[in-house]
Structure 1
């Protein structure tokens, strides 16, 4: 059976959320793990912009945006109802929340990561920019276990890899914040995801495809 091909980078948050959605959809793919310094010609031919993830479908169509891959996968199969199909306004609400993550929080997060790495004087300011969105998410979780209710949705899994990154930028500060933390609900939410075997499965390390050109079944 011919399967879609996913070009992916293991620790890239965009790739992580694409892999999570494929697992949630129970959509098997042939995984080709790559590194940004040595992208294969096949990937660049499929998507000249040269970023991952890239999904090459069985009909040769190409999806090269992580959120589009997530939606495509869940529209193929959504056994856990990640799209909250019974609620007609849910998809729009999910997309609005994800867009805020992608256009606001991620920009601040990237600045925070760089400032922390190089001990930049503005690191506290960038962290505070991140915390504004973190606090907003925490408030959403005061009444429900997940962002749109008591069951996880596309929004939770699309945002998860970036919250995980934030928690690791300054791990000691993050762990110290466990006592009297201003966002306990989000920490509970993140821990619950870490304890889900699905997350570990999405983070499994595979051989680099260019080393031997042997594809790995990812399902």
Structure 2
């Protein structure tokens, strides 16, 4: 729902959460998935990475998305936004698998956000780093992917019997890994990951969070998300 709120409309920004997001960023996607799953409404400000609004830079000097601006605090990490959303509304008990072993859960998140993402960036965006090392980083990222494949052979979802927090955390990144070379990825012997990713990409939830939004800096339009 496009509300047509201009950039100088401050009252709602003071009372309702503002989410700075970039549609294709897997970290921002992860946050949007959980916000939508938890039925938590925010004012979404879609940005362009090459032309970030000054309001984002003022709120968060690190200038990466997602950033959630609340009346009393600013959340700059996707997991912090997820935990906040769940504290507001959690109709699906989304964190049940996370809370079962918080230490192991934190380690899983670290392996994804630090290790896998490191190699993913150097594979997908090899021209920015060392092009000759592209396949080297692809193969190291595949070790993580193959570990996920094993886990999915033992249970329907990474979160257990139903899709949950672990699936929503990593599927946006697996999607990005596939995009780097779809034909190669689709040819790999990863039946469970192919199935899981396909279901995710075809889901109503994914389609909802991936709708194109007007660029806030250009239009002044926020989206009720």
TM-score by length of 1: 0.90
2:122 maps to 111
1:21 maps to 34
Alignment of 1:194-209 (within 5 A): 194-209=201-216
Contact kept in structure 2, 1:94 and 1:154, CA below 8 Å: no
Larger RCO (alpha carbons 8 Å, 6+ apart): 2
> Once the 2 structures are TM-superposed, how far is the Cα of residue 117 of structure 1 from its aligned partner?
8.2
Structure 2, unpaired ranges of 5+: 1-11
Selected match of 2:132 from 121, 132, 139: 121
1:12 maps to 25
Indicate how the Cα distance of structure 1 residues 36 and 88 shifts in structure 2: closer, same or farther if over 3 A, else same: closer
Alignment of 1:184-199 (within 5 A): 184-199=191-206
Selected match of 1:46 from 59, 62, 75: 59
Alignment of 1:1-219 (within 5 A): 2-57=15-70, 59-84=71-96, 88-115=99-126, 120-177=131-188, 181=189, 183-218=190-225
Contact kept in structure 2, 1:7 and 1:31, CA below 8 Å: yes
1:126 and 1:88 map into 2 onto residues whose CA distance is 32
TM-score by length of 2: 0.87
Would you identify which runs of 4 or more consecutive aligned residues in structure 1 move more than 6 Å? 116-119
More moved, 202-211 vs 121-130:
121-130
Contact kept in structure 2, 1:84 and 1:90, CA below 8 Å: no
1:118 and 1:175 map into 2 onto residues whose CA distance is 25
Indicate how the Cα distance of structure 1 residues 123 and 48 shifts in structure 2: closer, same or farther if over 3 A, else same: closer
Tell me the C-alpha RMSD between the 2 structures. 2.0
Structure 1, unpaired ranges of 5+: none
1:27 and 1:190 map into 2 onto residues whose CA distance is 25
Q: What is the aligned length?
A: 212
